[in-house]
A and B are shown apart, each in its own frame.
Chain A
């Protein structure tokens, strides 16, 4: 007899009954999915899709390769096994179903026979094993290792055991059948064969037949339960996360959208204020907790926890739907689902976005909440309000005023910008460089260095104002737009198209956000410039400068813009220096705490981020802590000072090290 599949062997003529019964779980599945779909429709915005093909490609490649999920080695592997095991078994079931219902009736053909069928069986058995291994890994990690990022509630255990039971019962069914039928080629189902021998040795044939019959219905019931339960459990992520990848994986890593000044409400304070794509993201959360364990605010014991925010918003979204029991009137989010202090704890470091395997952007939600606080309600922390007033009247967040920018210019004798033409580029200093003593010293060195390397450039001096980053990151879109438009006008008037910046915040905002407002700029960070220069023209670098150096990657340089190899290249070129890395570096760098208004929000709850980072630096036993951002530099110096380790290592800008080495 050629190997083939007999689905209802030993069960009887229940095909029609089973097909009818199938509608029950399907109904629940569709009902559940539709509920969630209606939740998304609460959000704003048009409902069309562009680039459908590109999205499908992105979806399939992300899901099949698990590239984002594999960032966490153990969890990624675990889920890879579960996914592929489950997926293959699912395909197998579909194949059987197709053969049994469609092909059998319409074409009287079978494809699951012969050699192909045997291969089919082997694949499924191996997939089952893979699935069991994955689930075991999952249970072990969640309930034995118990990492803090994972919750240990009963609902997760239930899902695991459901899958386990379905798989094990499926294997058992196979084993029981093989033990009775004893078809040829049964060794192509290794697990089945093993189980079959076991059953054969323990039970008589009629017992086995009876057991098989019962187990078959149990297996069917559990599978139906799985399908019906899916949309009401964590298993929803099978659909919702995939959908989210389809919807949201195409947008670039992180840019903020400009505000529509024509609307009545700005920012988000109700579920319905969110764009519908954001609501899709809320449902995609698998509670993996990676954002939480990556968030510097959470790690420094602030009230903020990105995972909690997403889940809190998710819960709200589901309650918002009219026919769900509970609140029917829209209620504010801030003060209920999310607290103000959580919103202000964020430094916009982007790690939550980078770590999320399913492309949820918790940072985006926080910024939209901030926009509401600032633009709609003017509910602004005192320190930030002061910054806004300073920006509006004096053009810099410190309120020092443009005439005081002269101080830097006078000490370096760089010419002020005229109409660009002769110079290579405009060097945008940034407010910290003009006004903060320590950063001014860096800039003087950097200017000297750039001149030594043969660059010609100008600076704006008094005409330079803030780039607007702090306004945008704290939620004040209006102020940002005002500042940016003024700057763009200045660039156009002076025909400036090439800008090199010192500060990564300025760099990020010019490069990624000003173009949306009509700017036409080529922007580089000075680290890129220095690296290129060193590569193009090898320099004679002194070997007198020796020691260990560790580089602190600024968030806005490494995570936002992927620039982390350039500074290392520069450091490597200094012969006497040995680079040592901190435990969290490059794109996984730990925030210094200054971003997103953190520099100005003085009230600290919990630990200080800069002290935590300083401790990491001290562990490396480096002599120098190098960085490429004025805020990071100040924060690191402050951090070491407050740990009373100010002399343990010297905090420098990479330009300062390079300058010392350049003879």
Chain B
């Protein structure tokens, strides 16, 4: 029986800049708590392995306050077998160090062949917990992988590591291992109704920090001190003035959506030949294509 653990984080999803004021304070209504999209993909990979191998069990592990349970139920509805939740109000937004140590404790209570996690969490945008945990456990680690396939004997796994521009490395590792999963062609499944009904009847195992002796850990560690949050880029690279012909609403929307990179918006007219030349020069200037060896750097 292959045991797969999936680290499943419920992230604070800020869906609109509207709820953030200029000092960076965020209104509660602007935040929606949802499963981390990368963790959903990790779970999907685990479920595919389960279908491939036929004798496998997928366990979700998560840390956080009470509200995390909703995300775990969603994961169970997708098809995970069990869920373990380290529940504590102080785990509202822990640093990667605390998260890793807490996950470590949970993982050590389980036997596993494979641990999967998402490449990063979209709220704090860290992406280090996977690496941290693998180091603490001395497990082989690969980041940004996709399309994981287990060998028939269950001792190795093959996968693609996602590089830039759609390139891939085909890599192999021994199990047990920890893999952090990237978005590729795999899309997380939508739970079936049966999945939801089964999930609602399952028990999410809730554990407390005291049981692992990490209670003091949660009190002690200073969190990452964010000195400020801002919507606008603090040190703008180049200023952008939106077109005054736009309506006020559209101008704000353009700014808010981050159009703060320099946009030279004077239009060029001319013959197709001229326009084509402009295009090529532009590509060269911006180092998209290399200038001909004839011209100097």
Write the residues of chain A forming the contact surface with B, with a CB cutoff of 8 angstroms. 261, 264, 266, 374-378, 380, 385, 388-389, 393-394, 399-404, 406-407, 462, 477-478
Contact = CB atoms under 8 A, between A and B. Distances in A.
Given A380-B190, A394-B15, A403-B29, 6 more contacts: A376-B192, A378-B189, A401-B16, A402-B29, A403-B16, A403-B27
Given A393-B32, A394-B32, A478 B15 contact: no
A565 B191 CA distance: 44
B35 to A, nearest CB: 9
9 contacts: A376-B192, A376-B193, A378-B189, A380-B190, A385-B190, A394-B32, A403-B15, A404-B16, A406-B18
Contacts of A374: 193
Nearest to A395: B32
Nearest to B34: A393
Nearest to A264: B194
B13 A393 contact: yes
Contacts of B65: none
B196 interface: yes
Contact of A375 (B15, B18, B30, B193): B193
B241 to A, nearest CB: 23
A375 B30 CA distance: 30
Contacts of A462: 29
Interface in B11-29: 13, 15-16, 18-19, 27, 29
Nearest to B194: A376
A399 B191 contact: no
Nearest to B250: A437
Given A393-B34, A394-B32, A399 B15 contact: yes
A378 B15 contact: no
Interface in B190-219: 190-194, 196-197
Which 6 A-B pairs rank lowest in CB-CB distance, beginning with the nearest?
A375-B193, A401-B15, A403-B19, A378-B192, A393-B34, A378-B190
A401 B197 CA distance: 27
Interface string B27-53: 101101010000000000000000000
A300 to B, nearest CB: 29
A366 B262 CA distance: 52
Interface of B: 13, 15-16, 18-19, 27, 29-30, 32, 34, 189-194, 196-197
Contacts of A261: 193, 197
Main secondary structure, interface of B, reads: mixed
Nearest to A399: B15
Nearest to A382: B187
A35 B140 CA distance: 66
Contacts of B196: 478
B9 to A, nearest CB: 15
Contacts of B19: 403
Contacts of B15: 394, 399-401, 403
A477 B196 CA distance: 12
Contact of A266 (B27, B30, B190, B193): B193
A524 B142 CA distance: 59
Contacts of B197: 261
B92 to A, nearest CB: 20
Contacts of A407: 18
Contacts of B13: 393
Contact of A400 (B16, B190, B191): B16
Contacts of B193: 261, 266, 374-376, 477-478
Contacts of A404: 16, 18
A388 B27 CA distance: 25
A181 B119 CA distance: 102
Nearest to B14: A401
Contacts of A400: 15-16
A388 B29 CA distance: 20
A262 to B, nearest CB: 9
A401 B27 CA distance: 13
B191 A378 contact: yes
Nearest to B200: A261
B192 A388 contact: no
Given A261-B197, A394-B15, A403 B30 contact: yes
A423 B22 CA distance: 36
A251 B185 CA distance: 47
A406 B13 CA distance: 19
A496 to B, nearest CB: 20
Contacts of B190: 378, 380, 385, 388-389
Contacts of A376: 192-194
B79 to A, nearest CB: 10
A385 B187 CA distance: 11
Contact of B30 (A264, A389, A401, A477): A401
A555 B190 CA distance: 30
Contacts of A403: 15-16, 18-19, 27, 29-30
B67 to A, nearest CB: 13
Contacts of B32: 393-394, 401
Contacts of A389: 190
Nearest to A390: B15
A406 B196 CA distance: 33
Most buried by A among B13, B15, B19, B191: B15
Nearest to A477: B193
Given A393-B32, A406-B18, A377 B27 contact: no
A89 B62 CA distance: 79
A478 B194 CA distance: 10
A403 B21 CA distance: 13
Nearest to B192: A378
Nearest to B193: A375
Nearest to A375: B193
B187 to A, nearest CB: 8
Contacts of A402: 29
Contacts of B192: 375-378
A264 to B, nearest CB: 8
A179 B83 CA distance: 94
A385 B196 CA distance: 16
A264 B193 CA distance: 10
A505 to B, nearest CB: 23
Nearest to A482: B196
Contacts of B16: 400-401, 403-404
A431 to B, nearest CB: 15
Nearest to A411: B249
A143 to B, nearest CB: 49
Contacts of B191: 378
Most buried by B among A374, A399, A401: A401
B247 to A, nearest CB: 9
A400 to B, nearest CB: 7
A380 B191 CA distance: 11
Nearest to B29: A403
B143 to A, nearest CB: 26
A264 B32 CA distance: 32
Nearest to A385: B190
Contacts of B27: 403
Contacts of A401: 15-16, 30, 32
A266 B193 CA distance: 8
A375 B197 CA distance: 11
A528 B51 CA distance: 55
Nearest to A401: B15
A364 to B, nearest CB: 19
A366 B196 CA distance: 24
